[in-house]
Chain A
Amino acid sequence: MQRVQPLRDTHPQFSTFKTPSYHEFKLENWKLAGDGSGKVIRPHPELYLALGIPVLAWLYQRLAGGLQYVGLAVGLWLLGQSVFLNVSHESLVVYPPHGVQVETHRGFRNCIFSSSRTFIPFTVLQDIVVNEGLYGWNVRYYIVALTRPRNSDTVLKVVFPNLLPHFPILKIVYNEIQMYLPQNKTESAQ
């Protein structure tokens, strides 16, 4: 039971971990450089903090009166957002008899500030599909869980909403998750 990286050469930030009770697809918030050199590109919120505080102090001196506090508040909010709300990793965890859970963890790699988890039981989950969305001039693919709570309209829940990985990762997640979904199991049993 070890963490496996299915796409080690191109997308090593994606890893899976399988135990008898759950199967986790984890996506971390870094990537390899696009030129094939193998360099790792990480977001550095500490840099924002280091650069932002002198800028804030300079602005504070320059602005007049009440505008100082407004500027300070706005600057602190932006800084705080980039540091504390920085996504560390997102995952999709399948608990085979029960349901799937979409998680977003914010903070740094060693110190997670907050985790938000949404559990979707199989009684509410209709299907998991890879959908395409228009993003500016591009087409981006994303995995979405179709849920139907309370016999009302279908509600879509996007998996990996902040990181939005590219298609090779989505293909692996989609293929591996199909064997856990109950409607596929009943079809194969028949």
Chain B
Amino acid sequence: MLPTTIFWPLQEDVRAPGVCYGWASPTKVCVAGRFAEDVDLETARTRIRALRLDQHIQPAVLDLPDLDTCIIVQYQRYPSKSLRFYDIDNDSLAYSAGLDRSLISQLNLAHQIHSLVNGETVKLHKPTAAVLLRLAATVLRPALTLVYSLRLSFLTQLLPRSAVGKQLQTRANQVGSLLRGIDGLSTTSLTTGIPEYAQKYTAFFNELWLILNDITLGVAFGTFLRDNAQYLASTHLLDDLEAALTWLDSWPAGLKLNTELSRFYSRAFISLVHYWGGFLTRHVFDHTALLITFCGYASIIGGLSLLIALFIDILAFIVTPHITLCYRVACGVYSLEKAALGGLWALFRGKRYNALRNRMDTWDYDIDQLLFGTMLFTLLTFLSPTTMVYYFLFALARLVSLLIHASLEVCLAFMNHFPLFMLMLKVKDPSRIPDNICLLPSPDAAGNVLLLMVCGLPMFYAADWCTSAL
């Protein structure tokens, strides 16, 4: 027969006299607090009954068994305004003779019950946070509502691949959740659960902090851009590409390419690049300073994330379309040639691809088919270095532009969803982001006393917050 476990708050002395109140079950007892010595049993019962809470959290006056036969687990009864709490994994097995989630929620409620019984007000946040929330509710809320009402939901349908549209929508979602957060954090009842409140609190202030960071950095970059409207050297991309194509045409690194084909390719691609360059020169280069100024103002209003989104879009729509187009053309030719070579190689060896069975079958070709196929195979084999070289040039250029695009998108994700608040809490006050508890034998008392402590937070928990915000 297992001894009963009593969970005792560290703030109350175990051996002192007085009536205790808390929650009891056959195998475990959770003590929330103790009345003063002069309070007798009947008064205690009346005061507890006057609380009138929900049935699953209503405490009762406790009739404690003999303390020497029980196991005493001492826990820290965290004040509700410190927003510290205990947490364990969600349990799934139906065993409740010991520590489980309902007991942990009782431990988290203990201080609120203690305050209620002693007639004190239950405060759920520190004074500075209360001031900030009031400020947010009065000053920020109209501004946020205005911004939210301006959300241009048609933009994402209009420009589905545009980073600016996605960023505007992300910002609108953030503002929406901030508004909901202001409401959720300001209206609290006497017995709001601390873990849920702490989660909402952390999410709210994390988003607020990220947006403020964003706007601060955006103002800095924006004024810089607006004052020095010099531009990224887009002419370099055109000139360098043209120079590379000309280099390929004239025996690059001693590799002897087929003259006519190479000349055809280089002329075709150079004309494509010229076409795009002409378009840019006629319409865009005159207005580059204006574009930079526009970026500056967008960055001041929308923050650094909007600037990064604008850079991504400028990269995709203005700076690199010719690279993408040339890549697609070279890719198409290369894949066609590869398929042709594959089929002709099979013919060379006397095999044929069976589409029905998805395999290679031996096949008896006619002599004229064999001759023609061999001639074509030889032709294509000797032409393939040329196509391969042009394909690799554009594949490399596209890879570089994709790398820049991807790193800008990573920066954008960091600006929007970095768990800054959680990292700060991990350094400053890890008990507010608990992962698990641990039990220790109490160092000073006798053999039947244990200590309950909050254990640290592994980093993948922060990743959970990250993905939930996305």
The answer to whether residues A150 and B90 also contact, given A21-B71, A101-B439, A118-B436 and a CB cut-off of 8 A, is yes
Q: How far is the CA of A149 from the CA of B89 in the complex (A)?
A: 6
Determine the main DSSP class of B at the interface with A: loop
For window 83-133 of A, CB contacts with B under 8 Å fall at 93, 95-99, 101, 117-119, 121-126
What string of 1s and 0s marks CB contacts (under 8 Å) between B86-108 and chain A? Answer: 00111111011111110000000
Q: Is A20 on the interface with B (CB-CB < 8 A)?
A: yes
Q: Which residue from A1, A19, A126 sits with its C-beta under 8 Å from B93?
A: A126
Q: Kindly provide the distance from the CB of A78 to the nearest chain B CB, expressed in whole angstroms.
A: 23
User: Once the chains bind, are A97 and B439 in contact (CB under 8 Å)?
Assistant: no
Q: How far is the CA of A9 from the CA of B182 in the complex (A)?
A: 67
Are B89 and A98 in touch, CB under 8 angstroms?
A: no
The number of residues on chain A lying at the interface, defined by a beta carbon within 8 Å of a beta carbon of chain B, is 27
User: How many whole Å from B402's CB to the nearest CB in chain A?
Assistant: 32
- In the assembled complex, the Cα of A30 lies from the Cα of B311 at a distance in Å of 60
Contact B98 A99 (CB under 8 A): yes
Decide: B92 and A150 in contact? CB cutoff 8 A: yes
Task: Give the chain B neighbours of A148 by CB distance below 8 A.
Answer: 92-93
Q: How many residues of B contact A (CB 8 A)?
A: 30
* Closest Cβ neighbor of A118 among chain B residues: B436
Q: Does A151 contact B (CB under 8 A)?
A: yes
In the complex the two chains form, what is the Cα distance from A101 to B439 in whole Å? Answer: 8
8 nearest A-B residue pairs (beta carbon): A123-B91, A97-B98, A98-B98, A117-B438, A149-B89, A150-B90, A98-B99, A19-B447
Is A182 among interface residues, defined by CB-CB distance under 8 A? yes
Contacts of A119 in B (CB 8 A): 88, 436-439, 455
Q: Can you list 14 pairs linking A and B with CB atoms under 8 Å apart?
A: A19-B447, A19-B448, A95-B98, A96-B2, A97-B71, A98-B98, A118-B455, A119-B455, A121-B89, A123-B93, A123-B96, A124-B90, A150-B89, A182-B97
CB-CB nearest in chain B for A20: B448
- Contact of B215 with A by CB under 8 A: no
- Is B80 positioned at the interface, with any CB of A under 8 Å from its CB? no
Which residues from B are CB-within-8-Å of A147? 89
B171 interfacial contact with A, CB 8 Å: no
- The answer to whether A69 has its CB under 8 Å from any CB of chain B is no
Cβ of B5 within 8 Å of any chain A Cβ, yes or no, is yes
Chain A residues with CB under 8 Å of B344's CB are none
Chain A residues with Cβ below 8 Å from B95 are 122-123, 182
Q: Please, which residues of chain A bring their CB within 8 A of the CB of B71?
A: 20-21, 97
**A121, B355: Cα distance in complex, Å:** 58
Inter-subunit contact A99/B2 (CB<8 Å): no
Q: Which of B11-51 contact A (CB under 8 A)?
A: 27-28
Please count the residue pairs between chain A and chain B whose beta carbons lie under 8 angstroms apart in the complex: 93
Q: Is A77 an interface residue (CB 8 A)?
A: no
Query: Is A121 a contact partner of B438 (Cβ separation < 8 A)?
Result: no
Tell me, in angstroms, the Cα distance from A22 to B450 when the chains sit together.
Answer: 9
Binary flags per residue of A136-159, CB closer than 8 Å to B gives 1, else 0? 000000000001111100000000
List B contacts of A101 (CB < 8 A): 438-439
Roughly how many angstroms separate A150 CA and B88 CA in the complex, as a whole number?
11
Interfacial chain A residues near B350, Cβ < 8 Å? none
- The answer to whether A98 and B5 touch (CB under 8 A), given A20-B71, A121-B88, is yes
A97 to chain B, nearest CB (A): 4
Task: Answer whether residue B443 sits at the interface, using C-beta atoms and an 8 A cutoff.
Answer: no
Q: Which residue of B lies closest to A21 (CB)?
A: B71
Chain A interface secondary structure, helix, strand, loop or mixed? mixed
The 8 A CB mask of A148-182 against B (1 = contact, 0 = none) is 11110000000000000000000000000000001
Contact yes or no, A97 B450, CB < 8 A: no
Chain A proximity of B72: nearest CB distance (Å): 8
- Which residues of chain A have C-beta atoms less than 8 A from B438's C-beta? 101, 117-119
What is the bound-complex CA distance between A118 and B92, given in angstroms? 18
**Is residue B65 within 8 Å, beta carbon to beta carbon, of the partner chain?**
no
- Please list the residues of chain A having a beta carbon within 8 angstroms of any beta carbon in chain B: 1, 19-22, 93, 95-99, 101, 117-119, 121-126, 147-151, 182
Q: With a CB–CB cut-off of 8 A, which chain B residues contact A124? A: 88-93
Residue of A whose beta carbon sits closest to that of B99: A98
Question: Which residues of chain A are within 8 angstroms of B449 by Cβ–Cβ distance?
Answer: 21
| B441 at the A interface (CB under 8 A) | yes
**Cβ of B108 to closest chain A Cβ, rounded Å:** 16
**CA of A22 to CA of B447 in the docked complex: distance in angstroms?**
9
Determine whether the beta carbon of B455 is less than 8 Å from that of A20: no
Report Cα–Cα, A126/B95, bound state, in Å.
11
- 12 A-B pairs besides A20-B447, A97-B27 with CB distance below 8 A are A20-B3, A21-B449, A96-B98, A97-B28, A98-B439, A117-B438, A118-B455, A123-B96, A123-B98, A123-B100, A124-B89, A124-B92
- Report the minimal beta-carbon distance from B103 to chain A, rounded to whole angstroms: 9
B447 touches A95 (CB 8 A): no
Q: Is the CB of B441 within 8 A of A121?
A: no
Chain A residue contacts of B448, Cβ below 8 A: 19-21
Q: Give Cα A147–Cα B91 distance, bound, in whole angstroms.
A: 10
Whole-angstrom CA separation of A126 from B96 in the bound complex = 14
Tell me the smallest distance from the CB of B269 to a CB of chain A, in Å.
43
Taking CB atoms, residues of chain B closer than 8 Å to A98 are: 5, 98-99, 439
B400 shortest CB reach to chain A, Å: 28
Closest Cβ of chain B: how far from A77's Cβ, in Å?
20
- What CA separation (Å) do A95 and B438 show in the bound complex? 11
A96 CA to B450 CA in the complex, in Å?
Answer: 12
Bound-state Cα–Cα, A19 to B99, Å: 19
A59–B43 CA distance with the chains assembled, in angstroms: 78
Give A29 to B455 CA distance when docked, in angstroms: 24
